[in-house]
Amino acid sequence: MTQLVIDAVLGVLVLSFVIGFPDLCFEFSNYLGSNLHLDNLQQKIHWLLGFPAGFKPNENLGIFMGNIVLNMIKKWNFITSALI
């Protein structure tokens, strides 16, 4: 029961902070999500398509899966760009 009360109190505090300081919350969430931008994700996938640690048990499967993920990222970028 006390965990439920603590959870509710923390939720109300976070909500009031977000409502009170929306610009600060936006900047903080943008900072936290900066590694999730599409360019960074594509760079990391290209890095993984190579031999990142000198170990690649199935090169063809890695290239296949990497290309699928890169195509999905391109389509997601197209869809979200069209919505803005």
**pLDDT of 55:** 73
Q: Residue 41 and residue 74: Cα distance in Å, rounded?
A: 11
User: Above pLDDT 90, what percent of the chain?
Assistant: 31
Query: Which tens digit of pLDDT belongs to each residue from 29-55?
Result: 877 766 677 788 888 888 888 877 777
Q: Residue 65 and residue 73: Cα distance in Å, rounded?
A: 12
Distances (CA, A) of 29 to 2, 24, 34, 63, 81: 29, 9, 8, 32, 20
> Residue 58 — pLDDT band, cuts 50, 70, 90?
confident
Reported pTM: 0.54
